[in-house]
Chain A
Amino acid sequence: MENRAEASARNDQTARVGVYICHCGGNISDHVDVESLADKAEHLPGVAAVRRNMFMCSDPGQAMILEDLQKGVVDRVVVASCSPSLHETTFRRVLERAGVNPYMYEHANIREQVSWVHHGDAATQKALTLIAAATAKARLLQPLDPLRVEARQHVTVIGAGMAGMRAALDLADRGFSVACIEKTPWVGGRAAALDRVAPTGEAASDLILSLARRIMQHPSITFYPCARLVGFDGYVGNFSLDVEIVPPEVPNDEELRRAHEAWTAKEPVFVPSRGALIAPVPSTPQRFRLETGAVVLATGFRPYVPKHGEYGYGVYREVLTLPQFIEALRDTAPQKGSTLTIDGRPIRSMAMIHCVGSRQIPGLHEEGPSGHLNEYCSRTCCAATLFAAAQVRERFPQTHVFDFYRDIRTYGRGQEEIYQHAAKNKVLFFRFEPENPPQVQPFDGPGGFPLTVSVQDTLTFGEEVHVPVDLVVLAVGMEPSDIGDLVHLMKLPVGADRFLLEVHPKLRPVEMATTGILLAGTCQAPMDIGECCNAASAAASKAAVLLSKGFVTLDPFVAEVDAQKCEGTGACLEACLREGAIRWVEGQRNGQTVRHAEVVAALCLGCGACVAVCPTGAIQVKGSTLAQFEAMVEAIAAEVAA
């Protein structure tokens, strides 16, 4: 009751509210009687002007508001239109342009909450109620200042694959200090297991080395091998990361030992399938804290591992995955003769099967141990498969290649030619339906082939075709890396496909819901190396935009303590959901030192849990005070008839 008295006492009798009602084409005006609504709204307390427009968000609509504000007809604004998530920012900007504090604004949603769900008189009545409530709140609005927090000129990149390296370099070149933490001793990620890369045919090792050299030499990049994130705290501009370094057992890892011996501070040491060594392998465990402004996640992917017996995988030694085959093909060169030899066995005929572990269909494919199906297309396997197929045909013309596909799309610039090229090189295609996938079985016919691939081939008019082969290669899809610990630690949103989820796939494609955390590369979705680098450069740009001013502005809708009213009960500290957002400080009251609560604005979530428990009403969320809410409730209860 005390609060209510206060509310009316503080009710700003001089406030001049402008109410702007949008027709939204006919979206609103088809169901809400906008004309009578405007007439009624004029009589609401505190309203100085009511106007209507077909599209309030249009330039003429905005100009109408701007003019009223500039002429002083109104000093605060209520727009009744669509959802605030669409245009609240638009209208706040109008206030800014008029030289009025942008927080003297209230939004009434009369589209999603009214015209899309109610019809007739009831709709008009509810629209009026919402406008009355918004107006009542608007009368009590106070100018607010956006929060401004210092931003460290430092970015941490997690993962040193192609995407991680690319992001680190872009940021370092823009003048930021960069820490790059990588859980293995190597840089290069999955690309290190590749040979030549489609569509241009560059060596993957060259791509890795060109970035690795620059990382090594760049004075602003600190690379931490064998490092993992173990603690995460803070907010945009001011994150604290705890990093743990666990040295690997070098003598047990022959390749690592040799690379480590060969390492000098001058050149990276490249080891196929492992990566490039660009820093000495740490010898002692260590734990330290990184103070950083933004975090770029570049944690990558892992190839799908077929289940035991899936297309004969794990049952017949002649069945390999595409990554295994690429490594085998790379390691066999140079070879004499025109027939490919793998493990000493001549490969006269080989089958490649697409979409293994991708585009899986519920009810048709068996779920993995985690209960998941990979329903997405892995995007890169078609091009990689056909690129490998064409390489085989060119280097070993006596080796026949048979390609079994559900659908083929070597999407992307310069990649369609790979398909053409493979077909020109006499790769023979078979097309199957998902419910009739190829069967890999032992072969006892002529020629001494170990296996046969049988398929109901839609290209041969649905006939069952048997292909005798020496080798089967499974084009496996991509799955996200196992980063459950990071997801838990940093509270990262994960999509239904288990990849990390951006805020919006088109409008904010490399940002996460937590400002200051960005996505680069295949931790977000299957991508090829070019796309990884695109995404990494985008993430680097976003991080730079966030931090480059040296400060970050945040919405001011956070809790605030009235030190004069706070009696130090501590209820707010107990109720607070965000650790560190409320703390004790000492202050003076009536000449005495007293302890009272204080809000750390940058950490506050603005949830209001503290407001609900404070016995003295000393804590309020700015922009949503109890007085404002009470005024809204009273306006709703007043039941103005539409």
Chain B
Amino acid sequence: MALVDINFADELEQFGAPKTLECFHCGTCAAICPLIDQHFPRQMIRYAQIGAKDRILERGAELWRCLHCGLCTQTCPREADPGEVILALRRYVLHHWRSSDHV
């Protein structure tokens, strides 16, 4: 269960991802991502959209597997900049890691 945090997307903007909500879950980013994990980065982006902070912090380690190759950003049909969302989430997790029990 996750309670949607309607302000999280605005918060993430401070960390450098202004277009998080423009993703419409076509899955192109996950299909092209060279990492093995099935739903990366789409699942993280979804958590960012609904503001599921706990999920993001729990799975924070996943974010560091990203090589920032840029394929997702290149292929995103919505120009929602998925690579940038992942980087912003890293900054968000770093910012919060001391106060969180997850890391």
Q: Is A333 an interface residue (CB 8 A)?
A: no
**B1 x A466 contact (CB < 8 A):** yes
The residue in chain B whose Cβ has the minimal distance to the Cβ of A424 is B22
How many angstroms from the CA of A162 to the CA of B99 in the assembled complex? 61
Q: Is B96 an interface residue (CB 8 A)?
A: no
Which residues on A sit within 8 Å (CB–CB) of B78?
423-424
Which residues on A sit within 8 Å (CB–CB) of B25?
429, 459
The residue in chain B whose Cβ has the minimal distance to the Cβ of A459 is B25
Residue among A424, A427, A428, A465 with the highest chain B CB neighbour number at 10 A? A428
Q: Is B2 an interface residue (CB 8 A)?
A: yes
**B4 x A423 contact (CB < 8 A):** no
Q: Is A548 an interface residue (CB 8 A)?
A: no
The residue in chain A whose Cβ has the minimal distance to the Cβ of B24 is A423
**B9 x A467 contact (CB < 8 A):** no
Q: Is B6 an interface residue (CB 8 A)?
A: yes
**B46 x A459 contact (CB < 8 A):** yes
Q: Is A288 an interface residue (CB 8 A)?
A: no
Q: Is A29 an interface residue (CB 8 A)?
A: no
**B22 x A423 contact (CB < 8 A):** yes
Which residues on B sit within 8 Å (CB–CB) of A464?
1-2
How many angstroms from the CA of A445 to the CA of B21 in the assembled complex? 24
Q: Is A468 an interface residue (CB 8 A)?
A: yes
Residues of chain A at interface, number, CB under 8 A: 20
Within 8 A of A (CB), among B1-60: 1-4, 6, 9, 21-22, 24-25, 39, 43, 46-47, 49-50, 52
Instruction: Please pick, from A349, A423, A460, the residue contacting B6 in the complex, using a CB distance under 8 A.
Output: A349
**A465 x B43 contact (CB < 8 A):** no
How many angstroms from the CA of A460 to the CA of B22 in the assembled complex? 15
**B4 x A402 contact (CB < 8 A):** yes
Which residues on B sit within 8 Å (CB–CB) of A348?
6
Distance to closest chain A CB from B47 (angstroms): 8
Which residues on A sit within 8 Å (CB–CB) of B46?
459-461
**B50 x A426 contact (CB < 8 A):** no
**B2 x A465 contact (CB < 8 A):** yes
**B2 x A466 contact (CB < 8 A):** yes
Within 8 A of A (CB), among B64-103: 78
Residue among A348, A464, A466 with the highest chain B CB neighbour number at 10 A? A466
**A428 x B3 contact (CB < 8 A):** no
How many angstroms from the CA of A460 to the CA of B49 in the assembled complex? 10
| Also in contact, A468 and B4, with CB within 8 A (given A428-B49, A460-B46) | yes
The residue in chain B whose Cβ has the minimal distance to the Cβ of A460 is B46
Task: Render A401-425 as a binary contact track against B, CB cut-off 8 A, 1 for contact.
Answer: 0100000000000000000000110
**B6 x A461 contact (CB < 8 A):** no
How many angstroms from the CA of A428 to the CA of B4 in the assembled complex? 11
**A460 x B2 contact (CB < 8 A):** yes
Which residues on B sit within 8 Å (CB–CB) of A461?
39, 43, 46
**A460 x B3 contact (CB < 8 A):** no
How many angstroms from the CA of A392 to the CA of B50 in the assembled complex? 19
**A426 x B4 contact (CB < 8 A):** no
Which residues on A sit within 8 Å (CB–CB) of B22?
423-424, 426
Which residues on A sit within 8 Å (CB–CB) of B43?
461
Distance to closest chain B CB from A456 (angstroms): 10
Distance to closest chain B CB from A455 (angstroms): 10
How many angstroms from the CA of A445 to the CA of B38 in the assembled complex? 34
Which residues on B sit within 8 Å (CB–CB) of A349?
6
Which residues on B sit within 8 Å (CB–CB) of A468?
3-4, 6
The residue in chain A whose Cβ has the minimal distance to the Cβ of B78 is A423
The residue in chain B whose Cβ has the minimal distance to the Cβ of A445 is B3
How many angstroms from the CA of A429 to the CA of B46 in the assembled complex? 10
Task: Render A227-258 as a binary contact track against B, CB cut-off 8 A, 1 for contact.
Answer: 00000000000000000000000000000000
Since A423-B24, A460-B50 are in contact, a sample of 10 more A-B pairs with Cβ atoms closer than 8 Å, ordered by chain A residue number, is A426-B21, A428-B50, A459-B25, A460-B47, A460-B52, A465-B1, A466-B4, A468-B3, A468-B4, A468-B6
Please give the residue numbers on chain A whose beta carbons come within 8 Å of chain B beta carbons, in ascending order. Answer: 348-349, 400, 402, 423-424, 426-429, 445, 459-461, 463-468
17 contacts between A and B (CB under 8 A): A348-B6, A400-B6, A423-B21, A423-B24, A424-B78, A426-B21, A427-B21, A429-B24, A460-B50, A460-B52, A461-B39, A461-B46, A463-B1, A463-B2, A466-B1, A466-B2, A467-B4
